[in-house]
Amino acid sequence: MAAKPALKLKRLQDLLLAGKRVLARVDYNVPMKNGRVADNARIRATLKTVETLQAQGAKVVLISHLGRPKGKPEAKYSLKPVAEELSRLLRKPVAFAPDCVGPEAEKAAAALQPGDVLLLENLRFHAEEEADDPAFAKALSRLGDVFVQDAFGALHRAHASTTGLPKRLPSAVGFLVQRELEFLDRAVGHPKRPFLAIIGGAKVSDKLGVLDKLLERVDALLIGGGMAYTFLAAQGISIGKSLLEADRVEAAKAIIAKAYGRKVECLLPADHVTVREIRPDAAPTVTQAMAVPPDLIGADIGPHTVEFFTEHIAKAQTIFWNGPMGIFEMDAFAAGSLAVAKAMAEATARGAVTIVGGGDSLAVLAKAGLAEKMSHCSTGGGASLELLEGKVLPGLAALASS
């Protein structure tokens, strides 16, 4: 199974950390609104690791990225509001340093007492982070005695904080990373059947590798979202003005052919919610068939598709979902995605294993208030997809060789 790489990884709980400075990579790339954390799910996902380190008497130094600041400081990407939210969750002050390397960061790290927590400023305020610069990794390493990797969502990136630090410090994986790897192995590598995958989102090109690998594991595949129109076009069905990746039509044909050859049900939308232009106040119409009229744009799966998608979800014992069914950010086009979320919550309640990955899918769950109703919500959509493709993530490979 791809989610069980042949790598030997040390675990946080195997180390004696009392009195040591632990440099922990976390993924606090959280949604922000008006200078405050809008969704703290990723922060909450790290609490077991942070609180365990505190309980062991470690001096905790946390590093993370936020957004895409292009290698220089930008106030809107500061992690200071995250430090405030973490402090609220821990019910204990969390120190904050205005840089992640250099004299101020080193002074703040040196001042820590056992059980203290310090969050450093955004790693991506330095271009050297994404360049995996050795000097930058060395500067980071001066802030800790031990490195703990708990940013599952960053493991597929070869950055200084993921691949550079394990070369310089004794390293281990935190509880979040352990849970992600163990859950994907147990639930996806050895699934209860029928095993159903629901794949949506805008682009086929982002999902071709995982679609190909999933066909070797699943019993049924449901395809929705903007990417579905490239698959419909591959079957000669009119898609009107809907999203099309013309250079991926042949690849879509190959996926459909592979599904047929492996006797995997591959289901596409049978009807659509359409509009003349994508606007929140657009007046939607529902098509009566798979084809989209020439002057319309598909924006969500239609009610008939919702019906048979939810029927398949109701029959499945393991369900993996990545990618929304439509432009869910606009209420007029959210029904399909919300229906999938509701059906998965019902499947979980009757004993199915439900796994959700990808930021947009998690946003759908948040909108529906159903995140807690899933068996597992992955904090790293890209990382989980690459594991499913059979790739060894650079961050894991670095940890294994440390």
203 is a catalytic site residue: yes
Check if the beta carbon of residue 367 is closer than 8 Å to that of residue 338.
yes
Integer Cα distance of 93 and 368 in angstroms: 32
Give 303's contacts (C-beta < 8 A, 6+ positions apart): 271, 286, 335
Integer Cα distance of 203 and 385 in angstroms: 14
User: What SS3 string covers 46-74?
Assistant: CHHHHHHHHHCCCEEEEECCCCCCCCCCC
pLDDT at residue 184, as a whole number: 79
Integer Cα distance of 74 and 121 in angstroms: 11
pLDDT at residue 190, as a whole number: 82
Under CATH, to which class is 12-180 assigned?
alpha beta
pLDDT at residue 167, as a whole number: 94
State the burial class of residue 22 (Cβ atoms within 10 Å of its Cβ: 0-12, 13-18, 19+). Answer: buried
> Two tokens at 43?
């922060």
pLDDT at residue 51, as a whole number: 97
pLDDT averaged per 10 residues in sequence order, the chain, 402 residues: 59 94 96 91 94 97 96 96 98 97 97 98 98 97 97 94 96 94 78 94 87 92 96 96 95 96 96 95 93 96 97 96 95 96 97 89 92 89 79 90 74
Integer Cα distance of 171 and 15 in angstroms: 9
326 is a catalytic site residue: no
193-351 shares the fold of 12-180: yes
357 is a catalytic site residue: no
- The dotted CATH code for 193-351 is 3.40.50.1260
pLDDT at residue 185, as a whole number: 78
pLDDT at residue 350, as a whole number: 96
Q: Is residue 218 classed as helix, strand or coil in its secondary structure?
A: coil
Integer Cα distance of 65 and 85 in angstroms: 16
Check if the beta carbon of residue 142 is closer than 8 Å to that of residue 378.
no
DSSP 335: H
pLDDT at residue 383, as a whole number: 84
- Residue extents of the structural domains in the chain: 12-180, 193-351
Residues 203, 213, 253, 367: which is the catalytic one? 203
Helix or strand holding residue 107 (H, E): helix 103-110
Beta bridge partners of 222: 198, 267
pLDDT at residue 183, as a whole number: 80
pLDDT at residue 3, as a whole number: 39
pLDDT at residue 342, as a whole number: 98
pLDDT at residue 1, as a whole number: 37
Answer yes or no: pTM beyond 0.95: no
Integer Cα distance of 213 and 193 in angstroms: 17
42 is a catalytic site residue: yes
Residues 226, 382, 391, 395: which is the catalytic one? 382
Residues 25, 42, 207, 248: which is the catalytic one? 42
Integer Cα distance of 220 and 322 in angstroms: 14
DSSP 86: H
Residues 67, 209, 359, 390: which is the catalytic one? 359
